[in-house]
Structure 1
Amino acid sequence: MKTMNGLRVALGVAIVAAAISAWAQDGASAQASAGTAVTASGGVTAKAARQANRALRRKVYAALAKHKEIDAGDISITAKGSAVLITGTVPDASQINTVAEVAKGVAGVTSVTSKLTVQRPFGQ
């Protein structure tokens, strides 16, 4: 009889432990699906990283817009982490360095790679 009671208690403890474990995992997956969770290793979720990249890209575009001497119509900005890649064309060679310097001055940017070229007029 004592053995049966011991088995019942052990089985009850196992069921409660499994239920608690399943409940904790459901809560973590709900947070992850909301895009606000941090991974077990302390990293940021993919959704949060994409949002941060978009925000940094918008900051760089906004900084370029403040400089009226820069024609940013054919410039493309890509942000990954805190690194920024600038591609496209500018009408004047002096704008290449100016664009890179403006991008470096944006808060959150640690490195800038510029692949800008000078736009050639048609027929040349």
Structure 2
Amino acid sequence: MKTMNGLRVALGVAIAAVSIGAWAQDGASAGALAGTAASASSGMTAKAARQANRALRRKVYAALAKHKEIDAGNISVTAKGGAVMISGTVPEASQINTVTEVVNGVAGVASVTSKLTVQRPFGQ
């Protein structure tokens, strides 16, 4: 009787382990398929997406450099799929809006997130 109960428990544990493993593999393959579908629908490989993001960053930096009233020395630009985030410091509060408007005007920019702050002089 004890042997029979032991076998039932062992069999139950084995079935549970196999079903958990199969479920994890099924979920992983579904995630992989979803990722493949997402990349196929966008039509870009990861390398091409990185190149496009770098090109957009360069265009934004070039646009900022054309505006001499903007001190862009402490501004960082991050681009991902048309969404651009600008961060860093500017010497005057009025430059925050100017920088945001300039970045919005760059071809290929879909949205702009500004995390710019006004630079405080040393000692304050």
| TM-score bin (small chain) | 0.5 to 0.7
Residues 38-66 of structure 1, C-alpha deviation per residue, up to 9 Å, x if partnerless? x6445310000000000000000000000
Aligned equivalents of 2:51, 2:119: Cα separation in 1: 32
**Secondary structure of 2:53 counterpart:** helix
Aligned equivalents of 2:41, 2:117: Cα separation in 1: 41
Q: Displacement, 1:72?
A: 0.3
Aligned equivalents of 2:47, 2:54: Cα separation in 1: 11
Q: Judging changes above 3 Å, is the alpha-carbon distance between structure 1 residues 41 and 69 closer, same or farther for their aligned structure 2 residues?
A: closer
Q: Judging changes above 3 Å, is the alpha-carbon distance between structure 1 residues 87 and 45 closer, same or farther for their aligned structure 2 residues?
A: same
Look up the match of 2:96.
96
Runs of 4 or more above 2 Å deviation: 39-43
Look up the match of 1:76.
76
- Give 5+ residue unaligned stretches, structure 2: 1-38
Between Structure 1 and Structure 2, how many residues are aligned?
86
**Secondary structure of 1:115 counterpart:** strand
- Give 5+ residue unaligned stretches, structure 1: 1-38
Q: TM-score, normalised by structure 2?
A: 0.67
Aligned equivalents of 1:70, 1:89: Cα separation in 2: 11
Look up the match of 1:45.
45
Q: TM-score, normalised by structure 1?
A: 0.67
Residues 64-121 of structure 1, C-alpha deviation per residue, up to 9 Å, x if partnerless? 0000000000000000000000000000000000000000000000100000000000
Aligned equivalents of 1:114, 1:56: Cα separation in 2: 16
Alignment of structure 1 residues 12-91 onto 2, 5 Å: 40-41=40-41, 43-91=43-91
Structure 1 vs Structure 2 CA RMSD: 1.1
Identity in percent? 85
Q: Judging changes above 3 Å, is the alpha-carbon distance between structure 1 residues 50 and 94 closer, same or farther for their aligned structure 2 residues?
A: same
Q: Which has the higher helix share?
A: 2
